[in-house]
Structure 1
Amino acid sequence: MIIDCHGHYTTAPPQLAAFREAQLARLDEPGRAAPAMAPVTDDALRESVVNHQLKVLRERGGDLMLFSPKASGMEHHVTDPETARAWAEASNDLVHRVSLLFPEHFAAVCQLPQTPNGPLDGVIAELRRCVGELGFVGCNLNPDPSGGHWTSPPLTDPYWFPLYEVMEDLGVPAMVHVSSSCNPAFHTLGAHYLNADTSVFMQLVQADLFGRFPGLRFVVPHGGGAVPYHWGRYRGLAMRMGRPDPAEHLRNNVFFDTCVYHQPGVDLLTQVVDAGNILFASEMLGAVRGVDPATGIAWDDTKGYVDGAGLTAEQLAMVYETNARRVYPRLDALLTAQGR
């Protein structure tokens, strides 16, 4: 089985975007009533994925995608908690419905209603709702809800601990994924995403977070940002600070995906990071669409790069399936119940 651990609902029906526009308009005019999203039929949901994510997943040999709301659309920089709650619920409910319509091909991962330095009670409540009531297998956690201004404490700060306790209790990992950038110095897709991946890894190197939360698991997307390219720097800094080697310190808790869009990049990732800490992913129909004119291969057709990285059959099985089932135990239970 080939499991893609990183997919977003970038083709959601227009009612979702219209609902968001109405939400933001209400914040500009507080006297307006809270908006409600227009109904979305099952047929509209089918149309939104059948000729998009589902078609491409099948064409490229994938079996199942972990599916979450559009990352850049989470917009956690909007400070109103009630708006964040309603937006996360609407986005997650559509993802849930897609997973019910296509249970063999999509497993749901939730957006959290974060706000900059806001309380985590609502975040925890939505996580419990999605996992306990709707059967979600994971969540996306934004380490910078401010949108590129980095006003929140690092992920190793006690601020986050109540959420981690619930994540451990529920047995769900988090993909560490920022949303849109509000800082013109950081392009959302080309800088902010990768800055966050790299910054979070260094936060984890410096602290003993997993001594306190041994069951906590993070997936660092986009191949870890700059991490594989500068692995020697991180090892050297860790030793200079008296910290353990990151390869050992983070082995059971931090994982990288394969959203790296050229062969040399995936080659480097698989040479530097142990195969047991790599999960296959494409983020298809997301940040980088189109075909590389030098190769004729779609940028986000990452399976071709993984197949070409020289991994053994055992390593490929880990990257394509068994690592995801281990990191996402609720996914494993879901697949087992389906006889897979």
Structure 2
Amino acid sequence: MMRKIALEEAVAVPGQRDLVPGGRSSFEYQAMTPVYDQLVDITGERLRHMDAGGIAVSVLSVTAPGAQGIPADRDAVGLVTGWNDYLAAAADGHADRFACFAALPMRDPDAAVRELRRCVGELGFAGALVNGYDDGVGSGPLYYDAPAYLPFWQCAEELGVPVYLHPRSVGPDRVTTYRGYPQLNGAAWGFHVETAEHILRLILSGLFDRCPRLQVVIGHMGEFLPWWSWRLDHRLSRDPGEKLPLARSVTGYLRENVFITTSGYFDTPALVLSVDVLGAERVLYSVDYPYESCEEAATWFDKLNLPEDVHEKIAYSNAAQLLRLDRS
């Protein structure tokens, strides 16, 4: 069995579920419920599943909606600080098996910078994971292409740590074409459209020209983008009024500034296409535990007919280099 690092592995911290917007009726609350015991467990059953799936290191992060869904009347900064301390303490006794991504209070960009610096500098975290747009405080969803977030991205670039942009479901007050089909709001479709569009906002805003060494990670085999990058470049280069003064094509930014993971997407043709479009150096193994099975992911991945060096890069060494993990 191949040795692996997994980057999208979720934890529920104490009290978090009670803060989910919309409460028990929301998609995000309901998604947690069947696997809640596994989400709150860190050093018991989780480790057994890691061993069964050949996972040497899991990078822990607070499950969606995380800090991005904290209600406006709660102290997001104080809560998130406590959540990160909890993750650090839980992982501390198994430093050889766990790393952590920081949760961040993105509705306050300055506080997000301070917490990222604290988590990386004091707690030794490998980077951060943010659960898509932030609900904001009466302002509607906040996306991180806004100018106020440039210092945050500059901080991540300076620290040399990646930011994982994880999906969350489309909010109930958002105008979509999903009415009457609630299944489209979540992990089957809306998750991925939402995240792909967020990444495109970052690219088209010129963020990666301003922060050329910044690295962002997205899951689920690239949230549609490896399939659609050619079409994006084709039309953006031709359609009147759509050309932007950017240094690269969309595909170019994906190849230089974005990593994708296999989380929850155990499909061989999709992996082959992603490697072809982005390069093997841009693909990372992940499971999406406990929403997905470590054993199912490993059974698929270990049997892939890939060149040995490509197989190993995706399984372990790409992530070890990106996260600066030396667990040999």
Q: Is the pair's TM-score, using the shorter chain for normalization, greater than 0.5?
A: yes
Is 2:300 the partner of 1:281?
no
Shift of 1:205: 4.1
* CA–CA separation in structure 2 for the residues paired with 1:188 and 1:94: 28
Q: Which residue of the partner structure matches residue 248 of structure 1? A: 252
Q: State the one-letter code of the partner of 2:75.
A: T
Question: SS at 1:123's partner residue?
Answer: helix
Q: State the one-letter code of the partner of 2:46.
A: Q
Shift of 1:98: 2.1
Residue 125 of structure 2: which of 131, 136, 160 is its match? Answer: 136
Q: State the one-letter code of the partner of 2:83.
A: S
Structure 2 runs not aligned, ≥5 long: 22-36, 179-183
Residue 153 of structure 2: which of 164, 170, 178 is its match? Answer: 164
Conserved 8 A contact 1:284-1:300 = no
Q: Which residue of the partner structure matches residue 227 of structure 1? A: 225
Deviation by residue 1:276-316 (Cα, 9 ceiling, x = unmatched): 11111111102xx4xxxxxxxx5873233333443211111
Is 2:64 the partner of 1:66?
no
Conserved 8 A contact 2:20-2:69 = no
Q: Which residue of the partner structure matches residue 316 of structure 1? A: 311
Deviation by residue 1:51-110 (Cα, 9 ceiling, x = unmatched): 432111110111001111122343435224x52112212221221112201111100111
Deviation by residue 1:154-209 (Cα, 9 ceiling, x = unmatched): 53332210101211222211001244543275634333421222112322442432
Q: State the one-letter code of the partner of 1:316.
A: H
Q: Structure 2 vs 1, CA of residues 102 and 180 (structure 1 numbering), >3 Å: closer, same or farther?
A: farther
**Identity across matched positions, percent:** 23
Shift of 1:49: 2.5
* CA–CA separation in structure 2 for the residues paired with 1:280 and 1:206: 27
Q: Structure 2 vs 1, CA of residues 197 and 250 (structure 1 numbering), >3 Å: closer, same or farther?
A: same
Q: Which residue of the partner structure matches residue 26 of structure 2? A: none
| C-alpha RMSD of matched pairs (Å) | 3.1
* CA–CA separation in structure 2 for the residues paired with 1:52 and 1:268: 34
* CA–CA separation in structure 2 for the residues paired with 1:300 and 1:146: 35
Shift of 1:127: 1.3
* CA–CA separation in structure 2 for the residues paired with 1:247 and 1:273: 8
Q: State the one-letter code of the partner of 1:170.
A: L
Q: State the one-letter code of the partner of 2:146.
A: D
* CA–CA separation in structure 2 for the residues paired with 1:23 and 1:256: 27
Q: Structure 2 vs 1, CA of residues 307 and 23 (structure 1 numbering), >3 Å: closer, same or farther?
A: closer
Question: SS at 1:219's partner residue?
Answer: strand
Question: SS at 2:54's partner residue?
Answer: coil
Deviation by residue 1:228-276 (Cα, 9 ceiling, x = unmatched): 3333322323433366333333322111111114444334433433111
Conserved 8 A contact 1:76-1:145 = yes
Q: Which residue of the partner structure matches residue 294 of structure 1? A: none
Question: SS at 2:237's partner residue?
Answer: helix
* CA–CA separation in structure 1 for the residues paired with 2:311 and 2:226: 19
Q: Which residue of the partner structure matches residue 42 of structure 2? A: 49
Q: Which residue of the partner structure matches residue 39 of structure 1? A: none
Q: TM-score, normalised by structure 1?
A: 0.75
Q: Which residue of the partner structure matches residue 275 of structure 2? A: 270
Q: Structure 2 vs 1, CA of residues 229 and 308 (structure 1 numbering), >3 Å: closer, same or farther?
A: farther
Q: State the one-letter code of the partner of 1:202.
A: L
Q: State the one-letter code of the partner of 2:320.
A: R
* CA–CA separation in structure 2 for the residues paired with 1:273 and 1:176: 18
Conserved 8 A contact 2:11-2:63 = yes
Conserved 8 A contact 2:77-2:111 = yes
* CA–CA separation in structure 2 for the residues paired with 1:311 and 1:157: 40
Shift of 1:153: 5.8
Q: Which residue of the partner structure matches residue 4 of structure 2? A: 2
Within 5 Å, give how 1:192-203 maps onto structure 2.
192-203=190-201
Is 2:117 the partner of 1:125?
no
Shift of 1:219: 0.3
